[in-house]
A and B are shown apart, each in its own frame.
Chain A
Amino acid sequence: MNREKNKRCHKVTLILILLLTITAVCAVLVGQYTIGLTDFCRIITEKVRGTLGDSMKTSAHVIFQVRIPRILLAGMVGAGLSISGSALQGTFQNPLVSPDLLGVCSGAGFGAALGILIGNGTGLLTPVLSLVFGLVSVLLVFFFAGVSSRSETLSVILGGIIVSSIFTALISFIKYVADSSETLPAITFWQMGSFANASYHDIGISFVPIAFGIIGLLLLRWKINLLSLGDEDCSTLGINPNHTRWMVILFTTLTTAGCVTVSGVIGWVGLVIPHICRKIVGVNHGYLLPTSCLVGAIFMILVDTVARNLTSAEIPIGILTALIGAPFFAAIYHKRKKVG
């Protein structure tokens, strides 16, 4: 029976990888500058052979310098946010938790705003500050949770709310003092989330924290099942709940901060994708986490492709994910209410 379940999960994984590839290739082809499948194949083979002619130069530039980095980034961010959501929902035994629970997004947002204010959004300053403040926010949560004598889970969540509101206030302050013709719009657009300026540069910055976080979470995926049973069960089943929970928090923070740094705030993905994946592979986090990664990547690439093709001017992806995610979530909630 487990063999069947395992087989089923392998099958699902294979199908998802196939879907991911198809989605990615389609996303490369569609856009303002349409590229045919035959041209695409020719460019790829010529590029591999090193015989790329001048006639294909524009197409090649679009593919390699614009679309591929953008798709890679969208996939990475989608996978990162989704697996973080799944892991945190399990760890905090609450299916309504999202990666933003611990204030990472507000922290990273503040870092980015600061970077845009003092460095005009150029160079490495914005992403680095964003990553740093994303991590600082969780250190602050750690500090608040450490000094509190209340139950650990509750104080971690409370710490998240406190840190989040402090950074939100600081973002408002930066917006208030920012130059309203250039800096203010830049900060506002950054907060809406977008892959429009994706480059290999961004991938370079975010790859290490996202990859490190995702691998860490994948290693912890079975232990998260135990965390979701509550601290008492968990500690008598052989793992230290406090240590394991902090490891999950660390890895999700790295992942989320890495994502927010390059994409801005993209809401709802980390909340909704885990719910979709539970419908596909069930609640066992051993299978849920890898599936979340794949489905998250597919979803993000799809939505990003829609975002850049729906109208002639690009729509910030954060707006689209919220517009799709919120009603979807309402539907799930409605169904739960009926059942429970």
Chain B
Amino acid sequence: MILEVYNGCFEYTQGQPVLQNIAFHLDCGQIMAVMGRNGIGKTTLIKCIVGILKWNRGYSTVDGVRSQVGKPMKSVGYVPQAHKVSFSYSVRDMVVFGKVGHQSYLAAPGDSDYALADQILDKVGIYDLRNHSCNELSGGQLQLVFIARALINSPKLLVLDEPEAHLDFRNQIRLIKLIKNVVSDNNIACIINTHYPNHALRIADKCFLLGEQDYIEGRTLQIMTDDNIQKYFGVYSHAYQFRYKDENITAFTFLDEV
């Protein structure tokens, strides 16, 4: 078991809980998709898990270590939403920055760190961009840079906040497959916030649906049903199934508001 959340509660203002009594766990090689409406607390949940925010009650552990604010964990690779970078660092520098935080004050990143960065950039497929400035990249490319930066410490848990937002179909598929490959190749756990049920069905082993008062969590196929989509998203939907390359694929079409 890599990640465990136990009885996690969080509120920004007192008396208005965002997360209540959250409990789940995640094993090596598993991907969990976190879904829910805008503003329901998906990002809050993963921020509590990685230690950007502090649980009001309960706790979470990654690889046996409790997450704490101000005590960053090397075992967690966090991929934020692609955002503008204030200085035009090169892609390689940006990836190596993943190493810097965990080095002592006397150490500076060396050739071996840059070689590792190149290797990971190759793995995520943007080796050619390695000398470009981060500010010249498209949103999708920058997202890949952030993923490479998260991977440089060989994390045990990869956390991604809506990685496929602002990407076109083709890049979405590429990114989703990349995440799946990274997780199975390194046998790590992964949490991904997403607004796309079809992506969750494609790669996630588990799903977490967050509602205003409650949540459900479990195996993807059992959680992602028309009934639950109606309950948690307020949308009528229709699921249909077909086979593609020896794989059973389920996909949703969204019909109307409730």
Q: A: which residues have CB within 8 A of B?
A: 1-3, 6, 90, 93-95, 219-223, 225-226, 228-230, 232-240, 242-243, 282-284, 286
Interface residues of B in 103-145 (CB under 8 A from A): 103, 105-106, 108-111, 114-115, 118, 130-131
Q: Can you list 5 pairs linking A and B with CB atoms under 8 Å apart?
A: A93-B87, A222-B108, A234-B101, A237-B100, A238-B74
> CB within 8 A of B97: which of A94, A219, A226?
A226
How far is the CB of A279 from the nearest CB of chain B, in Å? 12
Q: Are A2 and B114 in contact (CB under 8 A)?
A: yes
With an 8 A cutoff between CB atoms, is B52 at the interface? Answer: yes
> CB within 8 A of A236: which of B50, B106, B130?
B50
Cα(A283)–Cα(B71), bound, Å: 28
Most B C-beta atoms less than 10 A away, residue of A93, A237, A240: A237
Task: Using known A-B contacts A222-B100, A284-B93, determine if residue A235 contacts B86 with beta carbons closer than 8 Å.
Answer: no
Cα(A230)–Cα(B100), bound, Å: 15
Cα(A3)–Cα(B85), bound, Å: 25
Q: Are A236 and B72 in contact (CB under 8 A)?
A: yes
How far is the CB of B77 from the nearest CB of chain A, in Å? 8
In the bound complex, residues from chain A placing their C-beta under 8 Å from that of B78 are 236
With an 8 A cutoff between CB atoms, is B245 at the interface? Answer: no
Contacts beyond the supplied A2-B115, A226-B100: 7 A-B pairs with Cβ under 8 Å: A223-B101, A228-B86, A235-B69, A237-B98, A239-B72, A240-B71, A283-B87
How far is the CB of B161 from the nearest CB of chain A, in Å? 10
In the bound complex, residues from chain B placing their C-beta under 8 Å from that of A94 are 86
Total count of chain B residues near the partner, CB < 8 A: 39
> CB within 8 A of B101: which of A221, A239, A242?
A239
Most A C-beta atoms less than 10 A away, residue of B85, B93, B98, B102: B93
In the bound complex, residues from chain B placing their C-beta under 8 Å from that of A238 are 72, 74, 100-102
In the bound complex, residues from chain A placing their C-beta under 8 Å from that of B103 are 222
Q: Are A219 and B106 in contact (CB under 8 A)?
A: yes
With an 8 A cutoff between CB atoms, is B184 at the interface? Answer: no
Task: Using known A-B contacts A225-B93, A226-B100, A228-B86, determine if residue A235 contacts B72 with beta carbons closer than 8 Å.
Answer: yes
Q: Are B89 and A235 in contact (CB under 8 A)?
A: no
Interface SS of chain A: helix
Task: Using known A-B contacts A233-B80, A236-B50, A239-B72, determine if residue A225 contacts B85 with beta carbons closer than 8 Å.
Answer: no
How far is the CB of B24 from the nearest CB of chain A, in Å? 21
In the bound complex, residues from chain B placing their C-beta under 8 Å from that of A90 are 87
With an 8 A cutoff between CB atoms, is B92 at the interface? Answer: yes
With an 8 A cutoff between CB atoms, is B88 at the interface? Answer: yes
Closest 7 CB pairs of A and B: A238-B101, A2-B114, A236-B78, A93-B86, A237-B101, A283-B87, A238-B102
Q: Are A225 and B97 in contact (CB under 8 A)?
A: yes
Cα(A283)–Cα(B111), bound, Å: 19
Q: Are B80 and A232 in contact (CB under 8 A)?
A: yes
Q: Are A242 and B80 in contact (CB under 8 A)?
A: no
Cα(A31)–Cα(B131), bound, Å: 47
How far is the CB of A330 from the nearest CB of chain B, in Å? 21
Q: Are A229 and B70 in contact (CB under 8 A)?
A: no
Cα(A234)–Cα(B98), bound, Å: 9
Task: Using known A-B contacts A236-B76, A238-B72, determine if residue A226 contacts B101 with beta carbons closer than 8 Å.
Answer: yes
Q: Are B98 and A1 in contact (CB under 8 A)?
A: no
Q: Are B89 and A284 in contact (CB under 8 A)?
A: yes
In the bound complex, residues from chain A placing their C-beta under 8 Å from that of B52 are 232, 235-236
Task: Using known A-B contacts A230-B83, A235-B52, A284-B89, determine if residue A223 contacts B74 with beta carbons closer than 8 Å.
Answer: no
In the bound complex, residues from chain B placing their C-beta under 8 Å from that of A236 are 50-52, 72, 76, 78, 80
Q: Are A286 and B131 in contact (CB under 8 A)?
A: no
Interface residues of B in 4-61 (CB under 8 A from A): 47, 50-52
How far is the CB of B216 from the nearest CB of chain A, in Å? 28
With an 8 A cutoff between CB atoms, is B90 at the interface? Answer: yes
In the bound complex, residues from chain A placing their C-beta under 8 Å from that of B47 are 232
Interface residues of B in 178-223 (CB under 8 A from A): none
Cα(A3)–Cα(B112), bound, Å: 10
In the bound complex, residues from chain B placing their C-beta under 8 Å from that of A230 are 83, 86
Cα(A137)–Cα(B93), bound, Å: 35
In the bound complex, residues from chain B placing their C-beta under 8 Å from that of A222 are 100, 103, 108-109
Q: Are A3 and B111 in contact (CB under 8 A)?
A: yes
Cα(A223)–Cα(B98), bound, Å: 11
- Chain B's closest residue to A90 (CB) is B87
Q: Are A223 and B100 in contact (CB under 8 A)?
A: yes
Cα(A282)–Cα(B76), bound, Å: 30
Q: Are B92 and A1 in contact (CB under 8 A)?
A: yes
Cα(A72)–Cα(B89), bound, Å: 34
Task: Using known A-B contacts A1-B131, A225-B100, determine if residue A240 contacts B70 with beta carbons closer than 8 Å.
Answer: yes
In the bound complex, residues from chain A placing their C-beta under 8 Å from that of B76 are 236
How far is the CB of B174 from the nearest CB of chain A, in Å? 23
Cα(A2)–Cα(B93), bound, Å: 10
How far is the CB of A46 from the nearest CB of chain B, in Å? 42
In the bound complex, residues from chain A placing their C-beta under 8 Å from that of B93 are 225, 284
Cα(A94)–Cα(B86), bound, Å: 7
Q: Are A237 and B72 in contact (CB under 8 A)?
A: yes
Cα(A203)–Cα(B78), bound, Å: 47
In the bound complex, residues from chain A placing their C-beta under 8 Å from that of B74 are 238
